Amino acid sequence: MKTISEGLVHVYTGNGKGKTTAALGLAIRAAGRGFPVFIGQFMKGVVYGELAIEKFTGGLVQIRQFGTDSLVHTANENDRRLAKAGLNTCREAIQSGKYAICMLDEVNIAIHMGLLNVKSVVEVVQNRPRGVEVVLTGRYAPQEILNLADYISEMIEIRHPYQKGIPAREGIER
């Protein structure tokens, strides 16, 4: 496996569009250089366009979803169970030695919604092997997550088509 000498931590947060998109761009760039990538998507169970990424990268990027096909408004036991199982899967991926980059997509919002304990996520990140790059996305990144980061990017919403009643479009937002 191709490895990174010093794995760093990225946080993509904020209310604007583009957090997952930025993470996926990094995954494609890494795969283009031969780095294997694992992406765990929290709170997502809907078929998004990025699920085809494994096929297009020859398996260098693997993606798994940990959620249902409905939006979480208030956390329930099933949502918590799926998120905790997802965090365990991400922990295993990070520790496996198979991946140079591991992404925990929407993990910040999963923490915010009470699906995951921030201390558990911090532990997973802090205990990663030296050469594993970690990317954490989602709105409302808590300070404990920001404190871990080598990179922090905040997406700011200035204008979005949803404000005009235009729903999420296939290939753009989903």
Does residue 172 belong to any structural domain of this protein?
no
Q: What per-residue confidence (pLDDT) applies to 82? A: 94
Does residue 170 belong to any structural domain of this protein?
no
Does residue 3 belong to any structural domain of this protein?
no
pLDDT digits (tens, 9 = 90+) for 59-110: 999 999 998 776 666 778 999 999 999 999 999 999 999 999 999 999 999 9
Cβ pair 11, 145 in contact under 8 A: yes
pLDDT digits (tens, 9 = 90+) for 131-165: 999 999 999 999 999 999 999 999 999 998 878 88
Q: What per-residue confidence (pLDDT) applies to 72? A: 66
Please give the average per-residue pLDDT across 24-41, as a whole number: 96
What's the mean per-residue pLDDT of the chain? Answer: 92
CATH of the domain at 90: 3.40.50.300
Does residue 142 belong to any structural domain of this protein?
yes
String of b and e for 77-97 (b: at least 16 CB within 10 Å)? eebbebbbebbeebbebbeee
Does residue 38 belong to any structural domain of this protein?
yes
Name the band, by pLDDT with cuts 50, 70 and 90, for residue 168.
confident
Does residue 134 belong to any structural domain of this protein?
yes
Domain hosting residue 101, numbered range: 9-164
What is the DSSP annotation of 29-58? HHHHTT--EEEEEET--S--GGGGHHHHTT
Percentage of the residues of the chain whose pLDDT score is greater than 90: 72
The domain total for the chain is 1
Does residue 87 belong to any structural domain of this protein?
yes
